[in-house]
Every structure is written in C-alpha cells, then in structure tokens.
C-alpha cells in the first residue's frame, strides 16, 4: 500500500517556521514528508533538515519523496522523544525550527493490517513503531478493569468508560478479544442506544485511548517539549499541530509556562524565583483549518497549530 497522507495546515505551518535559507530544521514526525519537502524547497545550500519517524513505512516513503533534496536531508528511524541524542549524534547543538504533526497518519488509519481502524475487521495492533511489543490486543486482554477505565476515561474522554471497561473484562473472560469488529460489538453493547445517535462511531474514543496508551503519545509530548524549546536557537520556532484536546492542552500550557515561568506569588512586587522567559507564544489563539481545507480533508477538522519562538 502506498504511503499517502495529506499534510494538515501545510501552508500555515511552513509560514509559522519563518524558514531561513541556511537554517537547520527538524521534522519530528516525518510521516510521508509533506511538511519536510516544503521546508526543503525553502532551504539554500547551507540549510539542513533532519527528519525523525518511528514508522519504517514512513521512513521509506519520505526517503523516496525527498530524494531530490538528499544532500540537505538526514532521516533517522527514531521517536522525537530522542531528539537531543539524535542531534548530538549529528553534532548539532541548536536548530532554527522544529515541527510536530501529532496523531496517526492517514496511511496508518487506512492500512488495515496496521490495526488502527474500527471500520474494517482486523487484528488489534495500533503500534506506530512495529518494533515495539505492546499491542492493542495486549491492552484489551491483559489490563485490569481499573486500568482500562482510567485509560478510556482520561485518554478517550468517554463518559461511558466504566461501562466499556466492564464489558471488555466480561467478554474476555469467555474468550480473548482478537479483532476490531469483536471489540466494536463490545463497546456498542456498553453504550445505550439513545447515546449512540449522532455522535460518530461508538468505538472512536476507546480506540483513540488505546492508541495513545500503546504509543505513550501524551507522555512523550509532555516530557519532550521543554527540551525542544531548549534546542532552539534565538529566533527559532517550535510549531506543533495537535488533533485532540489533551494534546492541545499540554502544548498550550507548556508553551505558556516557558513564556511566563515566574512562580512567585502574584502579590510579590518583584520576581525572586529567578526563572527567566525562554521566549514568546506567537499564536495567542491556535491556528485552525479553513472551511475549504476541512471540506477537502475531513480529518483536519480537529487540528490546531500553536507556535513558540525562542528569545
């Protein structure tokens, strides 16, 4: 299957990076190379792009797509959580821009064998890095009812999390849950019919929650953003596209904290904590897709772009 992915907020993201021809840029979620190729088009002879992705299918697709710019591009099979050692290995101390396009790619969703989809009957998987061992099947069949409840409630924000967890545990006591359609039927039975009307597919939130758990998506984001801001050269920018409220909240709060790090009580006349601002948030409100983009690419509807600039 060809690796296809429509880059969301493409022009807005590239503009937000304020690309310098001789700058060094990192695409921490390389995917099919949609953002990277537009960065490369704006780089001069001294410019560099480092692309990082944990999905080998994405690495292969991006390598082919960026062939014309191979002298400027270094592609690394890794997770953006390891951005500092990746750059250190390339003898790069600071960069002029970092872009993250979070969430799951269209290729991963549409490639049935990857096990992300609830629309086709397929073995439960959802690993972004197929070298990892934990799969959706493991979570569904081995996590305790309490663990399942917290994952579905916290990561899926599903108000029926407790009932869904209970139904999963009951069903697996009879036989292991192996496929997406088996899981769909269990989730459907856990949500009263009147609450399933007009709210999209009943499995959507649970699948999101399981995917986030398996790939540690929120932990990686939360643990790496401060580090990324530290890696930016003066004037360098961090541009992040999120796709659900949990990601957006993390990005918003960490960017704000780096802009206004002072922890002194509000009634103190002067700052005594000594914490100094690392830069400024460029996007007071997140940039969202236009009506035309949402119509052309329905998966872009929940996208939000936030941008931070280093002092």
* Paired strand residues for 51: 27, 75
The residue ranges of the chain whose pLDDT is under 50 are 1-2
How far apart, in whole angstroms, are the C-alpha atoms of residue 135 and residue 149? 18
* Cβ neighbours of residue 82 closer than 8 Å, sequence gap 6 or more: 52
Which residue in 199, 206, 178, 201 sits closest to 121, CA to CA?
178
pTM across the whole model = 0.92
CATH code given to domain 10-107+217-310 = 3.40.50.150
Model confidence pLDDT, tens digit, residues 85-118: 999 999 999 999 999 999 777 677 778 888 899 9
CA-based radius of gyration for the chain: 21
Residue 134 vs residues 43, 103, 213, 247: alpha-carbon distances, Å: 39, 18, 10, 22
Model confidence pLDDT, tens digit, residues 3-37: 556 789 999 999 999 999 999 999 999 998 999 99
Same fold across 10-107+217-310 and 117-215:
no
Beta carbons of 275 and 262 less than 8 angstroms apart: yes
Residue boundaries of the structural domains of the chain: 10-107+217-310, 117-215
Fill in the DSSP letter of residue 123: B
| pLDDT score, position 5 | 61
How far apart, in whole angstroms, are the C-alpha atoms of residue 168 and residue 189? 10
| pLDDT score, position 199 | 76
Beta strand pairing status for 304-310 and 279-281?
Answer: antiparallel
| pLDDT score, position 259 | 98
Residue owning tokens 């250190």: 88
CATH among 3.30.750.24, 3.20.19.10, 1.10.150.170, 3.30.360.10 for 117-215: 1.10.150.170
| pLDDT score, position 304 | 98
């Amino acid at each position: 299957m060809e690796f296809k992915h429509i880059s969301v907020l493409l022009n807005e993201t590239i503009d937000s990076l304020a690309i310098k021809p001789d700058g060094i840029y990192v695409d921490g979620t390389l995917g099919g190379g949609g953002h990277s190729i537009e960065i490369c088009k704006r780089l001069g002879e001294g410019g560099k792009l480092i692309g990082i992705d944990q999905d080998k299918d994405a690495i292969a697709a991006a390598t082919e797509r960026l062939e014309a710019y191979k002298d400027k591009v270094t592609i690394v099979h890794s997770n953006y959580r390891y951005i500092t050692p990746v750059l250190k290995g390339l003898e790069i101390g600071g960069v002029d821009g970092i872009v993250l396009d979070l969430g799951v790619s269209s290729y991963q969703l549409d490639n049935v064998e990857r096990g992300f989809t609830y629309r086709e009957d397929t073995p439960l998987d959802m690993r972004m890095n197929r070298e990892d061992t934990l799969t959706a099947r493991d979570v569904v069949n081995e996590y305790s009812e309490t663990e399942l409840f917290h994952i579905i409630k916290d990561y899926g924000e599903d108000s029926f999390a407790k009932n869904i967890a209970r139904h999963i545990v009951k069903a697996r006591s009879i036989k292991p849950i192996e496929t997406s359609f088996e899981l769909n039927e269990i989730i459907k039975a856990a949500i009263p019919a009147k609450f399933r009307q007009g709210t999209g597919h009943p499995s959507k939130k649970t699948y999101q929650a399981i995917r986030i758990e398996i790939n540690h998506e929120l932990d990686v984001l939360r643990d790496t953003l401060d580090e990324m801001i530290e890696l930016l050269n003066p004037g360098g920018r961090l541009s992040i596209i999120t796709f659900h409220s949990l990601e957006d909240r993390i990005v918003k709060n960490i960017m704000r904290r780096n802009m206004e790090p002072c922890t002194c009580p509000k009634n103190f006349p002067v700052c005594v904590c000594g914490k100094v601002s690392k830069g400024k948030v460029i996007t007071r409100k997140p940039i969202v897709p236009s009506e035309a983009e949402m119509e052309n690419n329905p998966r872009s509807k929940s996208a939000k772009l936030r941008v931070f600039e280093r002092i």
